[in-house]
A and B are shown apart, each in its own frame.
Chain A
């Protein structure tokens, strides 16, 4: 067992874990944060994407021990009383159907927007290449990321601090 200290969605945790425990299983099975789903076993689908120290990472490709000392944001930590602009944009643009890829897709999109605040369609498609969706054909996801970029760009504060109105 190895002791790790992580902050997940603003809450600090100290746990003893098996060295082989995957981060996603730590989040889901140990912390009960089941908002982050698992879609594959080869790191292709990206459903389990989270932010680690503000960079997107597939939580099935990391061991929990590798996240020691890190600050992790999951889909469950995105809203802060109000939906994050990316959540609002996904809802408004109908960028989800079954919703299984959505947590990972939104977190990958946030990382993309941190790097490219005003991405072109091509840049969005490139940026989300590591996240698979089987329902939407990606069109509305691309649209949602564009509109989130606009919403976040018009706000004077940093992207993370921007919170949109809670949608009806």
Chain B
């Protein structure tokens, strides 16, 4: 068999249809809420309707009297059973981490803060009984606006945290002030990344069985992070870790919102053990909007220095991030995760970032698809288009003058990361061609010329991001409590079939398919013979789960390396069984052959049986064909790409319609192009959703106005265009698979591309910014205000920090 045929047969890089689909399309899926156990109780949580109030009294006794109710507890009843919920990342020495109990006892601090639970034999009975709980609240003034929260005299979310300030830090790379002194152009802008609600389609759910055949208390949870849940529930409750098993069964999306250890997981665990009965909790969608983390909610004041011939010099960003009322698992780290991405793909000389985190009486924020990188990328890609407009230069040409050229890799950026590889020229060329850039620019000029009611705008985003969270040493330096390695086990079983166990925990990404492709390729076995097991702390005792586009670049590479160990062991055994020198054996297409002796061979399955039977093993070799690998990556990976968006803006109504969207992404080597394309589609959709549709709005009293799916605009099929996607392929040089990661790329890239397009369409009316989401009203108002001489949209909602001042409203200096 020739090398060429081997390659043709490899499943690596093929659009293999997904192994997961069979159960998902036939309704045999195991969502957590589908689990029903004998004698199971249904738990519901009483949530505060007030954003800020002292709890004078909670009386659950009336609920206990209701039919079907088995128990009801206040936070005080259970206070001895738990500690503060986990917060895993300390970003600065001055960070304040207030206690965050699973049920509040002294104050409620946001609408949705839980303060009591009811357990009943039927979910309807539990919901009915919840109404019977009596609470006396002493209302306190709520603070929902970040600048107001920071002001002296503001109401305090936590009594002992002055000015509601959670943390501050400053990072200086190069000398920004020096660039300002010699800059010919200085641009200042204020950019908002509005608060978003992640909206994984499956709401969160938890089932806890206090006992099980293994003797462990089993937690099924709709989580991205079963291993985190195990460790932190153990730490939180004092129950020994080995007595806890956590299973993430089929999980219906996460987008970061299930990358957390939530109060309900701890509460259900504690009460199930206390009552000796299984307990289930499932949130409703509206409850999800209050009780599951939100994303973004960041104000950034940006200053860019450049020369008149279009060379960027320095970038200064003052960032204020809304923590919400408490710190969840990673809340304070989100701006930190974006810190390296501000220079983007450009050769800046200096970059300064100051950050502060602020407590408000709102739902806590945490990682939402991209986690810090969308916010940073939005800044650099928006300001590049603003600079292009200031210089009357084509935005693509401006980027060309500043980006890292393909022959300059590896490239050490000003913020201290080394990008291993990339080809921004190639991705951009391909995107421009697919987009018909020149034709669209011509049409744009014509529409302007004839003062068409519908104007055309073109927006660019040439992003990069960092994937593969993360080198453990780096995480430690940054104040994170855990590491970033990942585990894999590959076993060739007695029957020759292959079992892959991963410590990652997919929730829609298709690991069962892609990891099987990797193992099948390395072992030379049929794809159909490989199955991937995940999401269970019993099958993968060690793992760090799925988030930060890490599964393939860390977990997938670990699978490959474990499979290579299997092949190495099998080769030794094969040479022993064939009674030849190990050096005379070669491995090809799943078989060990003796060089120069046609026909003398043993398949890896035969060798596996030999290892299983163990009748004849070389001295010192242990039986069975299995290998583990735990990979701790040394560096991040850096996908990049060029996204181009054309929008039609109706200048009479402000309605924005995406005319075309082209995404050319370079995610390195691709294991499954079908899955990569799907990730790009979904990512781009979520980024467009931020640009045009979605916003979590609070009123001045801290009520979530967009409290249901009726009010919060998750886009439908009709709201989104068909995307044109393509790829360039510049392999990562830092892992053997050459992969980079794709889960968040689309979301990071698309938001600035769309907003740049909207602003481009209406800039002719004197508009320099339109705040997200670029709703018809905001676009219309921006046009009116622009025509009247103002620059940007008026403030949208109270969520954003009051009216702009003259110095923050945009417009070049």
A interface residues, Cβ below 8 angstroms from B:
18, 20-21, 25, 28-29, 32-42, 44-45, 47, 74-76, 78-79, 83, 87, 90-92, 94, 96-103, 106, 121, 124-126, 128-142, 167-168
Contacts and interface: CB of A to CB of B under 8 A. Distances in A.
A78 B201 contact: no
B507 interface: yes
Interface of B: 15, 17-18, 20-22, 24-29, 31, 33-34, 36, 123-124, 199-203, 250-253, 255, 284-286, 507-510, 528, 674-675, 677-678, 681-686, 708-710, 714, 716-718, 720, 722-723
B123 A29 contact: yes
Contacts of A36: 27
B33 A38 contact: yes
Contacts of A94: 15, 17-18, 674-675, 677-678
Contacts of A92: 17
B723 A87 contact: no
A41 B509 contact: no
Contacts of B286: 40-42
Given A32-B36, A78-B26, A91-B25, A99 B685 contact: no
Among A34, A125, A137, A140: residue with most chain B CB under 10 A? A137
17 contacts: A18-B124, A21-B124, A35-B27, A38-B33, A42-B709, A45-B285, A47-B201, A78-B26, A78-B27, A79-B26, A94-B678, A98-B202, A102-B25, A132-B714, A136-B681, A137-B685, A167-B17
A134 B25 contact: no
A21 B122 CA distance: 12
Nearest to B28: A35
Contacts of A98: 200-202, 251-253, 507-508
Given A138-B720, A142-B717, A97 B31 contact: no
Given A75-B26, A137-B720, A100 B285 contact: no
Contacts of B722: 121, 139, 142
Given A97-B509, A138-B685, A37 B718 contact: no
A136 B563 CA distance: 31
A39 B202 contact: yes
Contact of B203 (A39, A74, A99, A103): A39
Contacts, number: 183
B546 to A, nearest CB: 12
A45 to B, nearest CB: 6
Contacts of A40: 284-286, 708-709
A100 B202 contact: yes
Nearest to A76: B27
B25 A100 contact: no
B717 A125 contact: yes
B284 A41 contact: yes
Given A41-B708, A99-B20, A125-B716, 7 more contacts: A41-B286, A47-B201, A78-B27, A99-B25, A125-B717, A134-B714, A142-B717
A60 B22 CA distance: 25
Nearest to A141: B717
B436 to A, nearest CB: 20
Contacts of B717: 124-125, 128-129, 131, 133, 138, 141-142
Contacts of A45: 201, 285, 709, 714
Contacts of B20: 99
Contacts of B685: 136-138
Nearest to B688: A137
B142 to A, nearest CB: 25
Contacts of B509: 97
A132 B402 CA distance: 40
Contact of B723 (A21, A39, A78, A137): A137
Contacts of A91: 17-18, 21-22, 25
Contacts of A28: 34
